[in-house]
Amino acid sequence: MSTRRRIGRGSVVGELRVAKALAAVQFDRFGRFLDNSGCQEPIYICPARLLGDVFEFKAIIQELVRVVKFVQPDIIAGIPSLGLAFSGAVSLACEIPSIIARGTPEDHGEGTALQGTYSAGQTVLVLDDATGDGTTKRACIDQLLADWADRNGCAGSMAM
């Protein structure tokens, strides 16, 4: 028996739909690929391929929208780069505001790690392309919590 928590009714169908969409765009490829550090890897995960197929991208967004409606966050935080594509589409579909969350402040523009309007106590859903080891996502969540504490002396809640 699976111990995974099912979000809402029919999520097995949703998971199959997402899996088919990812397979259709060759989201993951097998062979020899270099990662950012120059190491060879046997699998290359390319979420950008979703953007080239509007029908498959829409299938992924529709499943994300179903999950977001179940979670009911106050705000959606997108992590650059492809997390912004996901968060923007979901934000529009759900009519929920979104912000940009980075793990470290920019070295240009406003020089901030977080861009957009949000308040302490809001529930935030962090969206990322989920292809890395989670370091950036954790750093973004830490930035959100630290910023809320600095502004208001308290932290907001997170949904991931």
> pLDDT digits over 67-89, tens only?
899 889 999 999 888 889 989 99
φ/ψ (deg, to 5) at 8: 75, 175
Q: Name the domain count of the chain.
A: 1
Report the alpha-carbon distance of residue 156 to residue 160 in Å, rounded.
13
Do the domain assignments include residue 84? yes
Q: In which band, very low, low, confident or very high, does the pLDDT at 108 lie, cut at 50, 70 and 90?
A: confident
* pLDDT for position 121: 76
Q: What is the pTM of this model?
A: 0.72
DSSP state at residue 5: P
For residue 69, the enclosing domain spans 11-159
Report yes or no on 6 lying in a domain.
no
Residue 143: how many CB atoms within 10 A of its CB? 19
Residue 3 within a domain: no
CATH number at residue 110: 3.40.50.2020
